[in-house]
Amino acid sequence: MREAWMVIAAGLIAGGLAVSHPAKAEDDLAAGSGYGEDNLTFERWCSEIQRYPADRCAAKSADDQAAFKQTQARLQEIEVKHAKEQRKNRDFDKQMDANRTMKPLPSLAF
């Protein structure tokens, strides 16, 4: 489990979040987040994040490709969750701004 989080953190540091498939319509913020697919390629994941030897990366074994796809899927989940939280926060801010009233305080005469 610890390694999984290290892979996720390394992926975020190394180039951002990856989207392996186009986002669904309800996740429009994830689709427009700017973290496109080309930020995390298999080659980059293999050499920079996993730090595997060049010959292993060039071989692109089925196990390594499956692990890469899992990493992409986990990063996409994180990106979608983040996008939903951003949307929730933005909606809250809009609601607060719409309900904010600026009335002057009554003057107090003594």
1, amino acid identity: M
Residue 7 banded pLDDT, cuts 50, 70, 90: low
What are the pLDDT digits (tens) for 30-87?
Answer: 454 444 555 789 999 999 999 999 999 999 999 999 999 999 999 889 989 999 999 9
Please give the backbone phi and psi of residue 16, each rounded to the nearest 5 degrees, phi first: 100, -175
pLDDT value of position 93: 93
87 Cβ contact list (under 8 Å, min separation 6): 29
- The owner of tokens 């892979």 is 7
pLDDT value of position 101: 75
The domains of the chain are located at: 2-87
Task: Give the residue, 61 or 3, on which the prediction is more confident.
Answer: 61
63 Cβ contact list (under 8 Å, min separation 6): none
pTM metric for this prediction = 0.53
DSSP state of 20: S
Q: Is 54 helix (H, G, I), strand (E, B) or coil?
A: helix
What are the pLDDT digits (tens) for 9-24?
Answer: 555 555 544 444 444 4
Task: Give the residue, 99 or 65, on which the prediction is more confident.
Answer: 65
Which pair of tokens denotes residue 22?
């186009």
pLDDT value of position 15: 52
